[in-house]
């Protein structure tokens, strides 16, 4: 299979040693760094703010793939852009005017992503696909790491792949939640090119990170 890009979710890292953890996954072959931002309102968990992203920026040159699970979201775009985000992904349910939110992200000079919850149809993308740089298909309900992959999302990945190919633009298709070496292959076969992995990257501690990432790429 073509090797996907791997974007380890630092939600599964040791938060007491976050800078070291980011350096370790960078050295172990991570392509992007996935940052899960949760507000305790849009999702039932509270995690990382722009200050942490800013502090981590010095620890790696890899792109920061910032997944915003916050509502309302528009007021946070500037802070995460200033903190060093490269890709900013939002959920259409997080504000009343998602098209405007996408325009705002692009006006900040960042790549814009749209994330689809498990119950959100691919059709949501009809009038956004020509504007965005990334689609993030959630294969768990957002809020926590370590959940099981929801197999019905494979059909959605296939549908989104078709939309992207039809659009004829470079749009990444990323999958997030319950991705391990087995589900990684299913996602890539369905058309994904970027995989988020929290538990599957960080399991076993730093000496396992390179092997874990290689296994996710299908090289293990
Ligand atoms: C869930 C987050 C995911 C999560 C992935 O809301 O968006 O990025 O941390 O964790 P795993 O890979 O453990 O399912
Ligand atoms: Zn995420």
Tell me: the pLDDT tens digits for 73-129? 999 999 999 999 999 999 999 999 999 999 999 999 999 999 999 999 999 999 999
Query: Is 176 a known active-site residue?
Result: yes
On the CB side of 72, how many CA atoms lie within 13 Å of its CA?
Answer: 8
Query: Which ligand 1 atom sits closest to the C-alpha of 45?
Result: 6
Average pLDDT over residues 194-212: 98
CA of 36 relative to ligand 2 center, distance in Å:
5
Pairwise CA distance, residues 31 & 123, whole Å: 29
Pairwise CA distance, residues 75 & 101, whole Å: 10
Which domains are assigned to the chain? 5-216 (3.20.20.70)
Report the binding-site residues for a divalent metal cation. 34, 36, 67, 176
Q: Helix, strand, coil proportions of the chain in percent (round to 5)?
A: 40, 20, 40
Pairwise CA distance, residues 187 & 152, whole Å: 11
Report the binding-site residues for substrate. 9, 67, 143-146, 176-178, 198-199
CA of 62 relative to ligand 1 center, distance in Å:
19
Tell me: the pLDDT tens digits for 11-57? 999 999 999 999 999 999 999 999 999 999 999 999 999 999 999 99
Question: Hey, which of 42, 115, 140, 142 would you mutate to test ligand 1's pocket, going by the most ligand atoms within 8 Å of its Cβ?
Answer: 140
Q: How confident is the model at residue 1 (pLDDT cuts 50, 70, 90)?
A: low
- Which residues are near ligand 1 (CB < 6 Å)? 9, 11-12, 34, 36, 67, 140, 142-143, 145-147, 176-179, 196-200
């Amino acid at each position: 299979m073509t090797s996907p890009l791997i974007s380890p979710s630092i939600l599964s890292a040791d938060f007491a040693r976050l800078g070291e953890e980011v350096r370790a996954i960078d050295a172990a072959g991570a392509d992007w760094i996935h940052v899960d931002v949760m507000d305790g309102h849009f999702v039932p968990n509270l995690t990382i703010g722009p200050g942490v992203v800013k502090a981590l920026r010095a620890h790696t040159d890899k792109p920061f793939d910032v997944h915003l699970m916050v509502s309302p979201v528009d007021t946070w775009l500037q802070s995460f852009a200033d903190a060093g985000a490269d890709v900013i992904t939002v959920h259409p349910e997080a504000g009343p005017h998602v098209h405007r939110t996408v325009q705002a992200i692009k006006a900040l000079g960042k790549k814009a992503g749209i994330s689809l919850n498990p119950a959100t149809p691919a059709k949501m993308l009809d009038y956004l696909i020509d504007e965005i740089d990334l689609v993030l298909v959630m294969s768990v309900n957002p809020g926590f790491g370590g959940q099981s992959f929801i197999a019905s999302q494979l059909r959605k990945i296939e549908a989104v792949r078709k939309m992207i190919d039809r659009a004829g633009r470079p749009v990444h298709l990323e999958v997030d939640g319950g991705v391990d070496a087995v589900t990684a292959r299913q996602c890539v076969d369905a058309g994904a090119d970027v995989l988020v992995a929290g538990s599957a990257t960080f399991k076993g501690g730093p000496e396992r990170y390179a092997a874990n990432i290689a296994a996710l790429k299908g090289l293990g």
